[in-house]
Structures are given as C-alpha cells and as structure tokens.
C-alpha cells in the first residue's frame, strides 16, 4: 500500500477533474450540456451549434455559427495520399478500427501544426477533425460494402454531406431526405457529450501527457469500441437478432440473463451513472416509431426491443439493480432503418461524441491544475525476494 490511497475500481467514487461542460444527475435522469437540457437541444438545435456550445461554452451567434460551418466545409477534403491508407486494410476490417487508425494517421499530415500549447494549432485541428472524421467514417463504411469513395459535397449541410458520403453512389444523383437528415441530426446531438465516461476520460488522460488532439481522440475511439461502452449499440442489434433467430422468446432470454448463463447481459441496459431511465434513451425511443414510419420501414426488432424493455422493467432482478435502457438500446434500430450496416453503429456514436471529446481535451489542456494522469494502486504482488545466488 502506498501513501493514503483508497481502492476505487473504475473510479466511480472519484472525481478526476473539475468540468463545466456537461451535468448529469443519474438518480433523476437529467442530462444538460452547458446547462441546457438535452430534451431542448435535441429538438431545436443542430449538431454544429451544439458542438460550438460544448467547445466554447455558449450558444454561437448566427454569424459565429455560419463562420464555424464554413470553416468546417473548407476542411472536409482528406489528403489524397490518405485515401490510399484505406486500401491497405482488408475489406472485412471493422469500421471502428479503421476510424481509430485513420485518425492517428491523419495526425501525420499536420505534425508541424499540432502543438497543444499553440492556440492556433488547437483551433485549426479542432476544425480539421470535425471536418475530416465524418469523411473517414464514411470511407470506412464504403470500404466495408465495396463501394467507391465519394468526395465531400460542400454545398450540403454537415449532416447531409455525411449522409451523401455514406449513401451516395457515383452512378446516381443523391437526393437529400429531410427525414434522414432530421433523424441523424437528433441522434448525433444526443451523443455529443456525457461528462467523464470511459472514452472521454481516455481522451483526457492521453491528452494530459501532452499528446495532441489527433492522438488523444484516436485513443478515445478505441475506448468507445468496447461492447460495454459505445460498442453496445452494435451488440444490442446482435442480441435482438439472436433472440429472434433462436426462437427462444424474450422471457426465456431474460431468465438466462438473470441466471448469468454464459455471462450473457441485457445489452443496452444499465449504466454507471444513470440509475434511472437514460433521458437519451427516452428521446430515441420516442423518435424510433416516428422515423421508421416516415422511412416506411417496419422492423420486428423494434417490437422485440419494446417487449424486452417491458418485461425487464417489471422484473425485480432489474429493478433491484436499477437497470434501465441506456442510450444504446434503441439507437441501432433507427440506424438500421436508415440503411447503416450494424458495424457502423459505433462509428456513428464516435462522430456524435467527437465534439464532447474535443471540448474535454481543450478544457483539460487549458486547466492549470491538469497534471499527467497517474492513479495509485494497492500492491498485492510478491514481497521482496532475491534472484538465485544473489541472496
């Protein structure tokens, strides 16, 4: 035991920093970005307006937002050499691995402009990442389906450009679909920040060593990939598909979860902080019916998810453990209805979370109290002993 340390697995009882960006009340199911309730922002704001709010602390004026939007549009192109990066990877590569690797590779083009202590570099690379990561994400999608990469279309809004990069094909004119635009805009807003979650804490820890934004965000993408974190939205769809295909029925599956058979979990349920309904899950569930109907899609997996939620919320096992649907429980059904492959779901989470990661990296970087992250430990290993012949 070193110093006066107390063991706190997963730091759930430890504040690693002060932050003014996002407020969560896990018992009341409250989420606010810079004080604004998520319910209002999801319904009335846009991804870039919320990105500015998270990064700079206030809602932008119309001119600030227009300038921000224009700067991002002017940085959407990737260096042509970087496009060849994708051809080095197998077409079976998981898009989250592609996003993480390409984000780290992106930094190699800007090494002379990546000084974390140079405010101009920080501003420029914030813009570059907001502009280029969606393009990389769309290229990961196109690679996984064997289609040609498109170039960004700067005549379109941020979300429409992202949708066109994902769903446009060279042989067709791409028609913007307002239903898709609004659905994705709302889902991205719901993911933009969530205070000190595992991937954001990773971004802050890596950044605390003096690593630049690209390296820190690439590390955050890797943390998000895990099925207990952002990877859960992909795992929910796989879980629902297995329940449907096995014919075992929801009640039997819930029993297996309660018996912890083969470590099976109810993916999309439970949360480190929310011990009540995740306010984001409520908003996603509300819009799921509306979006699927507007897209003319009916998906039995949505009904299965609702049945699963109803049964779980009535069951003491889940009530005693305060397990409720989290943001990942319903999002996948909407992404699937929009046409995204399941393995793109966590990439969409990452694009959503990017402004929050950037905001936290900057807040950490500007905080004079920031020290390189270095938790203590309770040592339980071998006591001192000698190498043979040295004793």
Is 328 one of the catalytic residues?
yes
Site string for ligand SDX, 153-192 (x = CB under 6 A): ----------------------------------------
230-259 residues in contact with ligand SDX (CB under 6 A) are 230, 232, 257
Residue nearer to ligand SDX on the CB measure, 102 or 284 = 284
**Footprint (CB under 6 A) of ligand SDX, residues 194-223:** 194, 197
Which of 93-101, 181-189, 263-271, 363-371 is the region at the interface with ligand SDX (rule: CB under 6 A)?
A: 263-271
Tokens of 315: 């069951």
Minimum CB distance to ligand SDX, residue 366 (Å): 22
324 binds ligand SDX (CB under 6 A): no
Q: Does 308 bind ligand SDX (CB under 6 A)?
A: no
Instruction: Write down the catalytic residue from 94, 160, 328, 360.
Output: 328
Q: Identify the residue among 269, 324, 340, 345 touching ligand SDX (CB under 6 A).
A: 269
| Of the candidate residues 20, 27, 321, 377, the single one contacting ligand SDX (CB under 6 A) | 321
**Cβ neighbours of 185 (radius 10 Å):** 22
Q: What is the smallest separation between the CB atom of 180 and ligand SDX, expressed in angstroms?
A: 23
| Centroid of chain to Cα 283 | 17
| Minimum CB distance to ligand SDX smaller for 164 or for 229 | 229
Segment near ligand SDX (CB under 6 A); pick from 46-54, 96-104, 135-143, 267-275: 267-275
Binding flag, residue 271, ligand SDX (CB under 6 A): yes
Q: Is 44 a catalytic residue?
A: no
**Site size with ligand SDX, rule: CB under 6 A:** 21
Residue 133 to residue 138: CA distance in whole angstroms: 9
Q: Which listed residue (128, 132, 229, 285) binds ligand SDX by CB under 6 A?
A: 229
Residue nearest to ligand SDX (CB): 270
Q: Of the two residues 135 and 190, which places its CB atom closer to ligand SDX in the complex?
A: 190
The verdict on 91 binding ligand SDX (CB under 6 A) reads no
Annotated catalytic residue, options 271, 278, 315, 316: 271
The 3 state secondary structure assigned to the chain is CCCCCCCCHHHCCCCCCCCCCEEEECCCCEEEECCEEHHHHHHHCCHHHHHHHHHHCCCCCHHHHHHHHHHHHCCCCCCHHHHHHHHHCCCCCCHHHHHHHHHHHHHHHCHHHCCCCCHHHHHHHHHHHHHHHHHHHHHHHHHHHCCCCCCCCCCCCHHHHHHHHHHCCCCCCCCCCHHHHHHHHHHHHHHCCCCCCHHHHHHHHHHCCCCCHHHHHHHHHHHHHCCCCCCHHHHHHHHHHHHHHHCCCHHHHHHHHHCCHHHCCCCCECCCCCCCCCHHHHHHHHHHHHHHHHCCCCCHHHHHHHHHHHHHHCCHHHHHCCCCECCHHHHHHHHHHHCCCHHHHHHHHHHHHHHHHHHHHHHHHHCCCCCCCCCCCCCCCCCCCCCCCCC
The nearest distance, CB 219 to ligand SDX, in angstroms, is: 15
- Is the CB of 128 or the CB of 191 nearer to ligand SDX? 191
Q: Which residues are catalytic?
A: 271, 328
Interacting residues toward ligand SDX by CB under 6 A: 194, 197, 228-230, 232, 257, 265-273, 321, 323, 326-328
């Amino acid at each position: 035991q070193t110093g006066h340390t107390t063991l706190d697995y997963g730091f759930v009882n430890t504040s690693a920093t002060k932050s003014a960006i996002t407020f969560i009340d896990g018992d009341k199911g409250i989420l606010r970005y810079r004080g604004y309730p998520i319910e209002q922002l999801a319904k009335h704001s846009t991804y870039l307006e919320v990105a500015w709010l998270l990064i700079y602390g206030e809602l932008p004026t119309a001119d600030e937002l227009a300038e921000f939007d224009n700067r991002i549009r002017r940085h959407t192109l990737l260096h042509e050499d970087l496009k060849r990066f994708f051809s080095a990877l197998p077409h079976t590569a998981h898009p989250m691995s592609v996003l993480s690797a390409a984000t780290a590779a992106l930094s190699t083009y800007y090494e002379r402009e990546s000084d974390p202590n140079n405010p101009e570099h920080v501003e420029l690379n914030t813009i570059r990442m907001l502009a280029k990561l969606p393009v990389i994400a769309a290229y990961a999608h196109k690679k996984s389906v064997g289609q040609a990469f498109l170039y960004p279309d700067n005549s379109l809004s941020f979300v429409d450009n992202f949708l066109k990069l994902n769903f446009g094909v060279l042989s067709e004119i791409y028609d913007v679909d307002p239903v898709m635009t609004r659905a994705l805009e709302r889902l991205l807003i719901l993911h933009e920040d969530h205070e000190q979650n595992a991937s954001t804490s990773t971004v802050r820890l890596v950044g605390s060593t003096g690593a630049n934004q690209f390296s820190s965000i690439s590390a955050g993408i890797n943390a998000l990939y895990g099925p207990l974190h952002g990877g859960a939205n992909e795992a929910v769809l796989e879980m629902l598909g297995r329940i449907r295909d096995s014919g075992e029925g929801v009640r039997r599956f819930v029993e297996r979860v309660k018996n912890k058979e083969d470590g099976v979990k109810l993916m999309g349920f439970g949360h480190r902080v929310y011990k009540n309904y995740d306010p984001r899950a409520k908003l996603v569930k509300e819009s799921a019916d509306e979006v699927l109907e507007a897209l003319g899609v009916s998906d039995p997996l949505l009904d299965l998810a609702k049945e699963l939620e109803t049964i779980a919320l009535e069951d003491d096992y889940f009530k005693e453990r305060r397990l409720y649907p989290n943001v990942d429980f319903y999002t996948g059904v909407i992404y699937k209805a929009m046409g995204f492959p399941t393995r793109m779901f966590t990439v969409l989470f990452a694009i959503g979370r990017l402004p929050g990661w950037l905001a936290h990296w900057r807040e950490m970087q500007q905080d004079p109290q920031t020290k390189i992250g270095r938790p203590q430990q309770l040592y339980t290993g071998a006591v001192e002993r000698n190498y043979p012949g040295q004793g």
